Structure 1
């Protein structure tokens, strides 16, 4: 049994609910990162820590800073790309892309209560395999042209509809704005994943609130 498999799992995660799936910006200043997230997290249903520019030490520090904030607001904190970092920090789970390791290994290490997401891009068969491997939710996109990933593969609303039969929450990602979010939600998205639409907005709090209102519940 690996070191990570022996490590106690995270505290039981809050139930995954519909709404805004907020991803953190690439912010090197930890205090500023925390302040930016604190302002908008009341309007989020899920937070993913994502900082592609940080080294492992900074990532660990920032995840540990975000955990009490997420606990206070009753929302799960996931770690992008790295389930081992999630395990080390006691996060509620991880989100893995196609090059981020094996979903079955991650599920075994993180435990049954962890939230484990999978990027499925534009492929329903990848989503089927992810659910079989233990994914808690599947993410499709980019649904619209994305400034964060301008060359991303494109998914369609129809793919979200087809994925309903998988029986897990569906996440839409890529170029989602408060104006087009209803297209994704009407196609079956349980969450819409956003970075720049909130953190690059002139008024991030108003932007986060606008995304949350799109769900109407």
Structure 2
């Protein structure tokens, strides 16, 4: 993202969609959460085929626009470009960041998974990413075999000239410690969508960014 025209550094809840095959149900689950204005929403649906992903991503662009919440697409910058999403998030094997940046333009949000590797984060930023994600910080039901990161890594990442996302097994109870260690955003799937009251859970994550009492 062009630093001369970039928005203020984002800070808050980075909500990620669950694997939901029913587009109507996905939108119904998201509507009250988008009303809370999470910082960003990422569309992620690993089991979905291309047609369903296109349908769902298109529907989410419209829903997010109503609430002024930027939408990023997981794994697929071409789909993000096709549906008019605000950006994309790429992991290992999801294509070159340089190619994605060139195609999406300077104002697109472009994130990179950096796992437990600060060197990868520096290379990702040099290649065109404007924010980086580390984790998993705690055991995660979404990615039980994910590489593990530590809060010390967030303290090291504070020197990076870009927002830092923490992901993996984050709860409202452990999230504040990650924010205090340097996370700008907390990325969450199950902690919100599997909660008995997803709206209350989302608010609890947002409270991790409030000043301590």
TM above 0.5, one fold? yes
90, 101, 104: which is aligned to 1:107?
101
- How far the C-alpha of 1:15 sits from its partner, in A, is 5.6
Question: Matches of 1:193 and 1:138 in 2, distance apart?
Answer: 11
Gap change, CA 1:151 and 1:26, over 3 Å in 2: same
Residue 42 of structure 1: CA displacement? Answer: 2.6
In the alignment, the residues of structure 1 paired with residue 190 and residue 9 of structure 2 have an alpha-carbon distance, to the nearest angstrom, of 22
Query: In 2, are the aligned partners of 1:16 and 1:46 still within 8 Å (CA)?
Result: no
Matched, 1:123 2:117: yes
Trace 1:32-181 onto structure 2 (pairs within 5 A). 32-43=25-36, 44-181=38-175
1:205 maps to 199
What TM-score do the two structures reach when normalised by structure 2? Answer: 0.93
1:97-118 superposed Cα distances (whole Å, 9 cap, x missing partner): 0110000000000000000000
CA distance in 2, matches of 1:179, 1:150: 20
The structural deviation recorded for 1:65 is 0.7
Relative to the length of structure 1, the TM-score reads 0.92
Work out the CA distance in 2 between the residues paired with 1:204 and 1:46.
16
Question: Considering only aligned residues, what root-mean-square deviation do their CA atoms show, in Å?
Answer: 1.5
Aligned mates of 1:51, 1:107 — CA distance in 2 = 23
- Gaps (5+ residues) in structure 1? 1-11
1:17 aligns with 2:13: no
5+ residue gaps, structure 2: none
Match of 1:7 in 2: none
Q: Tell me the alpha carbon deviations over residues 142-180 of structure 1, each in whole angstroms, 9 at most, x when there is no partner.
A: 011111111100001111111111110000000000000
Aligned residues: 206
Q: Could you give the per-residue CA deviations for residues 185-212 of structure 1, whole angstroms, max 9, x where no partner exists? A: 0011000000000000000010011101
SS in 2 for 1:197: helix
**Match of 1:166, SS?**
coil
